[in-house]
Amino acid sequence: MKVYGLPVWGILVGGFVYWFLGFIFYGVLFTDIWMKAEGVSLAEAEAAASAPGGALWMVGGFIISLAITKGVAFGLKWRGWPNLPGALGTAFILWAFFAVTMLGYDLVYVPRHDWAGFFVDIAYNYLGMSAAAVIITMMR
């Protein structure tokens, strides 16, 4: 099924994988680094998650992952639906010129200037955008 020439199932699966990678990165592998970078304690994070409506923030994260994945799909479509190496190249270009630069604002303007958190964020987005590009390419 396609909408505006974009593979809907590829975007949904790619968005889910992107979002799940976020759980792996921030919830399992790099929790301490990320929480330090954001200035959040474990107690604060747990309180926010268990507060009324706390789970809705996770839904918001999924919607953001879908939006980024849809952007990757548009990039692939505009490049004429390249093969897998071309799709990964497209993801790299989108990552380098959009994700890295947008995430760089926190590094520059937040007084902590936390390089470790910045590297976790850009690594997550690189893997997420690359995975989305591969999934969309394979499912189109």
pLDDT tens string 11-31: 999 999 999 999 999 989 998
* Non-local CB neighbours of 119 within 8 Å, separated by 6+ positions: none
Q: Decide if pLDDT at 2 tops 90.
A: no
Q: What pLDDT sits at residue 69?
A: 97
Split at pLDDT 50, 70, 90, the class of 9 is very high
Tell the burial category of 38 from Cβ atoms under 10 Å away from its Cβ (0-12, 13-18, 19+).
Answer: middle
pLDDT digits (tens, 9 = 90+) for 38-56: 888 888 888 888 888 878 8
Split at pLDDT 50, 70, 90, the class of 4 is confident
C-alpha dist (Å) from residue 26 to 86, 121, 125: 29, 9, 12
pLDDT digits (tens, 9 = 90+) for 46-94: 888 888 887 888 889 999 999 999 999 999 999 999 999 999 999 999 9
Total-model pTM: 0.90
Q: What pLDDT sits at residue 46?
A: 82
